């Protein structure tokens, strides 16, 4: 049988153990992936004992507590803390999610926290989203009008047409879906993935946009679109409750019937 070995320096090793110093009886063990490109060491899992008596309910509260009180070098992205910016996406307890929306009370036992999977790691929980942002830029996510309009011209939209954007405009580009998608893991350079395809769909169905045909032509590609095999991981992982798999099948249907 063929045996595959990981390069020596990619193996995750046991890291430091940060014991509680408060004497609290309400402790939770948090295991966190750590990797510092400047240290030239293997990635490791550090374990922190955290006093939940003095901690907010969300996983992000735990990370903030560790950073503020135990290890200031812990690195992760966050901004709004209210599920709006998408920057705190990571893998918590085996599921991609927003750490500011995920309650640690729902998790039994130790909490394991990793960066979003199948991306290069920049440091600790910060994954490299450059490819995803390049792909996002490629679908030109802005309203396109063929002819210049007079200054102060308003582009109106009926209530019915505005309603069609419900379930897609809420996407915050957190990448939880794309990094849950096996097709994106293996073909991420070419396949656009669920987050970017949902965004492409959002502009294609916007009644105000005048570039629908070209937009559709752009995504009608064996690799960009048809690498989706309807595995549905994307929809199951979206922390905003959106359905990128449905948006992708709607795109395929539009192309088949246009
Ligand atoms: S569809 Fe959901 S999971 Fe995917 S990027 Fe948008 S908000 Fe995040
Ligand atoms: S439905 Fe398509 S985009 Fe979603 S996880 Fe499956 S293959 Fe990926
Ligand atoms: S910090 Fe903005 S979505 Fe979590």
Cβ–Cβ under 8 Å, residues 124 and 35: yes
pLDDT by residue for the chain (258 residues), tens only, comes to: 667 677 777 899 999 999 999 999 999 999 999 999 999 899 999 999 999 999 999 999 999 999 999 999 999 999 999 999 999 999 999 999 999 999 999 999 999 999 999 999 999 999 999 999 999 999 999 999 988 888 899 999 999 999 999 999 999 999 999 999 999 999 999 999 999 999 999 999 999 999 999 999 999 988 888 888 888 899 999 999 999 999 999 999 999 997
pLDDT score for 1:
67
Q: Which of 67, 84, 171, 240 to mutate to test the pocket of ligand 3 (most atoms within 8 A of CB)?
A: 84
Q: How far apart are CA 100 and CA 184, in angstroms?
A: 25
Residues 56 and 158 in one domain: no
Domain membership flag for residue 142 = yes
With a 6 A CB cut-off, is 231 part of the ligand 2 pocket? yes
48 located within any domain: yes
**Is there a single domain that holds both residue 119 and residue 146?**
no
86 and 151 together in one domain: no
181 and 249 together in one domain: yes
pTM of the model: 0.94
Nearest CA residue ID for atom 6, ligand 1:
171
Same domain? For 95 and 141 the reply is no
**Same domain assignment for residues 138 and 91:** no
Residue that finishes a domain, picked among 77, 109, 127:
127
- In a domain, residue 91? The reply is yes
Kind plus residue range of the DSSP H or E element containing 17:
strand 13-18
Inter-CA distances, 186 with 83, 179, 182, 233, 244, Å? 28, 11, 6, 14, 18
120 and 223 within one domain = no
* Token pair belonging to 173: 């580009």
Which domain-ending residue is among 80, 100, 127?
127
Q: pLDDT at position 222, please?
A: 85
Same domain for 184 and 250, yes or no, is: yes
Q: Establish if 1 belongs to a structural domain.
A: no
Task: Give the three-class secondary structure for 66.
Answer: helix
Would 3 be classed as within a structural domain?
no
Q: Return the CATH number at 252.
A: 1.10.1060.10
Residues 164 and 232 in one domain: yes
How confident is the model at residue 148, as a pLDDT? 85
Q: Is residue 16 part of a domain?
A: yes
pLDDT of residue 31: 98
The ligand placed nearest to the CA atom of residue 129 is 1
Last residue of one domain, picked from the residues 104, 127, 150? 127
Joined tokens for residue 186:
């293996």
Question: Domain residues for 167?
Answer: 130-257
Q: Does residue 245's CB lie within 6 angstroms of at least one atom of ligand 2?
A: yes
Query: 44 by DSSP, 3-state: which?
Result: strand
Is the minimum distance from the CB of 200 to ligand 1 under 6 angstroms?
no
Closest CA to 225 of 202, 243, 200, 257: 200
| Residue 12 falls inside a structural domain | yes
Task: Give the chain's domain count.
Answer: 2
Spatial contact of 247 and 168, defined as CB atoms under 8 Å apart: yes
One domain for residues 116 and 37: yes
Residue 86 burial class via C-beta count within 10 angstroms: exposed 0-12, middle 13-18, buried 19 and up:
buried
Token pair for 127 = 């994954």
Angle at 238 (CA atoms; ends 236, 239), nearest 5 degrees: 120
- Answer yes or no: do 237 and 138 share one domain: yes
- Rounded distance from Cα 201 to ligand 1 centre (Å): 13
Domain of 42, CATH number, reads 3.10.20.30
Q: Does residue 253 sit in the same domain as residue 134?
A: yes
Ligand nearest to the CA of 174: 1
Q: Considering the domain boundaries, does residue 24 fall inside one?
A: yes
């Amino acid at each position: 049988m063929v045996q595959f070995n990981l390069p020596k320096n990619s193996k995750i090793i046991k890291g430091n153990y940060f014991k509680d110093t408060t004497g609290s009886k309400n402790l939770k063990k948090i295991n966190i992936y750590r990797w510092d490109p400047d240290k030239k060491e293997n990635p490791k899992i550090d374990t922190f004992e955290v006093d939940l008596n003095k901690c907010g309910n969300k996983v992000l509260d735990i990370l903030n507590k560790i950073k503020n009180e135990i290890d200031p070098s812990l690195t992760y992205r966050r901004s709004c803390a209210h599920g709006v910016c998408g920057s705190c996406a990571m893998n918590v307890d085996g599921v991609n999610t927003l750490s500011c929306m995920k309650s640690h009370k729902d998790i039994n036992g130790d909490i394991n926290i990793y960066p979003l999977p199948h991306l290069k790691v920049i440091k600790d929980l910060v994954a490299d989203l450059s490819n995803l942002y390049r792909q996002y830029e490629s679908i030109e996510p802005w309203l396109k009008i063929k002819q210049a309009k007079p200054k102060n011209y308003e582009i109106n939209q009926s209530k019915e047409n505005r309603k069609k954007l419900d379930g897609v405009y809420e996407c915050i580009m957190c990448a939880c879906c794309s990094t849950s998608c096996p097709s994106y893991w293996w073909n991420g350079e070419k396949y656009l993935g669920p987050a970017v395809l949902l965004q492409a769909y959002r502009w294609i169905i916007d009644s105000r946009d005048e570039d629908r045909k070209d937009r559709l032509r752009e995504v009608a590609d064996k690799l960009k679109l048809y690498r989706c095999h309807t595995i549905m991981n994307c929809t199951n992982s979206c922390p905003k409750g959106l359905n990128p798999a449905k948006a992708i099948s709607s795109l395929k249907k539009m192309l088949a019937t246009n």
